[in-house]
Structures are given as structure tokens and as C-alpha cells.
Amino acid sequence: MNDLDTRVNIPCIGESFPHIEVRTTLGAMTLPDHFAGKWFILFSHPGDFTPVCTTEFASFALNHERFRRLNCELIGLSVDQVHSHIKWVEWIEERLGVSIEYPIIADANGDVSRTIGAIHPPNSGSTIRAAYIVDPGAVLQSVMYYPRGVGRSIEELLRILQALHVVRRHKVATPANWPSNELIGEEVLLSPPGTMEEARRRKGMQGCLDWWFCTKRL
């Protein structure tokens, strides 16, 4: 086995999301074109009819409208066949009372998953638990991988998406655990100054602990 057999194609933040033709439970789509002008989160799962993945897909569905309020759509992915996805969606609705309206990619040969680095190692044959946040310009803004036995936090994905909106709109940064940071609460952080003069102006300013650490209330 050579290096090409073991190398995972890890997509990088700031890169354009690859152009991919996909087959989904809602029909054929082209990504990222299908979500032009919107944010979208593509999330992969190890397999249909598994307990952790079932709870995740139900949670995504129950919070779908919250994502939409942030101009974000959802799309799932695994290497299962499309008929497996369809039956699983039916089971979730019949047994759990949760309707899944977002599409799920059927990537039976694994080509899509390998393109976005969702199979680790690349010859394992099943998708890992991953989430990719893509902006309206089709640029990748966040990539998260999770252990097989650990369900992801939908609230954290929503928090990241909300933070990305704030960072872009106000040209600021968000602290740890925003909007509930232990030191500055829901305030945000100003970018460090770019000149000596700006650094001097910030000394003693309200909200500045030092010239490089300044907070702002939105």
C-alpha cells in the first residue's frame, strides 16, 4: 500500500467547496450550486438505522427552522443506498414522529465522501461523523470531525453559524463560549490594531484591558 492509498483529502477552511453531482432522497443535485446564495451544512454519518445517527438526524430536523432563520440549509450524507435513506426517513417519521425535510446524499461508491475527506482512512468504506459549514459564496468556513460513538451537538453548530454571521456583519471576533463567555459575557472582541498610533489610542479606552484586548457590546 502506498501513500496515495492512505492519504485523506482534508478540505481546508477558506477553500471553495468542490463541484459535485449528487443523488439524494429529494432527487439529483449539484453542489454547491443548489444552495447558491445560502449557507449550508453538509453532515455525514456512519450509517442508516443506527442509534446515534438516528438521534442526530431527528435533532437536525427538529431544529431545521432555526438553521433556516440563519439563511442556512441542511444536507446529510452516507455511503448507504438511496432506498435505505428513504426507508430510514420513513421509520423516523413513523416511530419518532419527526419529519425530515432536508435531502440525504446516497454515496454508495464513496466518491463524494472521499472528495470531501469524510472517509477515514480512505479505504475503510464507511463515512465518519463530520460537518462542513459552507458560506453563500460556496467557501468552506468550518470543518468538524467526531468520534463514531459521540453524537454531535446541534446547538454548537448553530452557535458557530450565529458567530460567523456576527463576525462578518460587525467585523469583530467572538470569545470562547460566546455568547456566554465567563469574562466578558455576550460582548465581542475587536481585532488587534494595525498601527502604533491606533494602539496608543486604544490605551485607556472603555472596554479595553490593553491595546490588544478590547471588547465591544453589540
State pLDDT tens for residues 74-90: 999 999 999 999 999 99
Let me know: does 35 contact 134? Beta carbons within 8 Å: yes
β partners of residue 74: 41
Domain assignment of residue 104, yes or no: yes
Residues serving a catalytic function are 53
User: Quick one: 17 and 88 in the same domain?
Assistant: yes
How far from 54 is each of 25, 48, 57, 81, 91, CA to CA, in Å? 16, 7, 5, 16, 10
> Hey, what's the cell of 82?
438511496
Do residues 177 and 132 both lie within one domain?
no
- Domain residue limits at 41: 3-152
Residue 143: exposure state from Cβ atoms within 10 A (0-12, 13-18, ≥19): middle
Residue 81, in any domain of the structure: yes
Model's pTM, two decimal places?
Answer: 0.93
Asked whether residue 39 falls in the same domain as residue 102, the answer is yes
- Residue 159 inside a domain? The answer is no
116 pLDDT exceeds 50? yes
Give 17-39 pLDDT, tens digit per residue.
Answer: 999 999 999 999 999 999 999 99
Residue 157 lies in a domain: no
The 10s digit of each residue's pLDDT in 167-199 is 999 999 999 999 999 999 999 999 989 999 999
Measured over all CA atoms, what is the biggest interatomic distance in the chain, rounded to whole angstroms? 65
